[in-house]
């Protein structure tokens, strides 16, 4: 397996620790007055989602994780799994609901996603940053509530409620940030 030196550590680099792939989220170079330089890292386990803080000495090397990214699309949900289609090989892969449930509430069948593979096994899905969804229900705006940033709840086509400005009506399309679940803008299509 390829080795990576601590001098090459930076955000986004994937390494193997105790047999599991980790993503480097932060890497800070520290040079104390005496002794060897250190690299303080914050890592996320790509299989379990757990966080880890580790410090490495200058000159150390770690095994680099062979992570492959590919384009895919969300297919369907069946019980405790979500299924995705790899657009390159046309194979179906499943991910457990608990690992990605937060994002799936905004995705429609057929939505393009990025798939992350390790040892030819799907380990993660990266959703698009924004999705455009149609508002299926919202209360009418109260007259005179346009002077300030008044928001109201609106149900979108996936069944999730999103806070939107008062001028949004049923039938409008809105752009939603998948990470935060917040309204971005009204979309005219």
Q: How far apart are CA 23 and CA 27, in angstroms?
A: 11
Residue 143 has pLDDT above 70, yes or no: no
Residue 73 has pLDDT above 70, yes or no: yes
pLDDT on residue 127:
93
User: 128-140 burial string, b = 16+ CB within 10 Å, else e?
Assistant: eeebebebeebee
pLDDT on residue 144:
60
User: Are the CB atoms for 130 and 80 separated by under 8 Å?
Assistant: no
Query: Is pTM beyond 0.85 here?
Result: no
pLDDT on residue 115:
95
Q: How far apart are CA 2 and CA 60, in angstroms?
A: 14
Q: How far apart are CA 57 and CA 135, in angstroms?
A: 53
Q: How far apart are CA 117 and CA 124, in angstroms?
A: 7
Tell me: the pLDDT tens digits for 8-65? 999 989 999 999 999 999 999 999 888 889 999 999 998 888 899 999 999 999 999 9
pLDDT on residue 145:
56
pLDDT on residue 32:
87
pLDDT on residue 156:
95
Strand partners, 15: 22, 64
Alpha-carbon torsion 155, 159, 163, 167, what sign? negative
Residue 149 has pLDDT above 80, yes or no: no
Lowest-confidence segment of 12-16, 69-73, 140-144 by average pLDDT: 140-144
Give the three-class secondary structure for 69. strand
Domains (range + CATH), the chain = 3-64 (2.30.30.30), 67-126 (2.40.50.140), 130-187 (2.40.50.140)
């Amino acid at each position: 397996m390829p080795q990576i030196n601590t001098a090459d550590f930076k955000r986004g680099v994937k390494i193997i620790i105790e047999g599991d792939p980790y993503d480097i989220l932060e890497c800070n170079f520290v040079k104390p007055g005496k002794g060897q330089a250190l690299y303080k890292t914050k890592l996320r386990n790509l299989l379990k989602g757990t966080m880890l803080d580790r410090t490495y000495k200058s000159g150390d090397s770690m095994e680099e994780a062979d992570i492959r990214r590919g384009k895919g699309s969300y297919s369907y949900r069946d019980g405790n799994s979500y299924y995705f289609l790899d657009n390159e090989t046309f194979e179906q892969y499943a991910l457990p609901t608990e690992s990605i449930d937060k994002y799936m509430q905004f995705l429609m069948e057929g939505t393009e996603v990025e798939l992350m593979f390790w040892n030819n096994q799907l380990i993660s899905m990266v959703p698009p940053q924004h999705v455009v969804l149609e508002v299926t229900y919202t209360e009418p705006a109260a007259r005179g509530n346009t002077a300030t940033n008044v928001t109201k709840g609106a149900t979108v086509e996936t069944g999730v409620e999103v806070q939107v400005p008062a001028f949004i009506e049923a039938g409008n399309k809105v752009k939603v940030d998948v990470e935060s679940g917040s309204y971005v803008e009204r979309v005219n299509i």
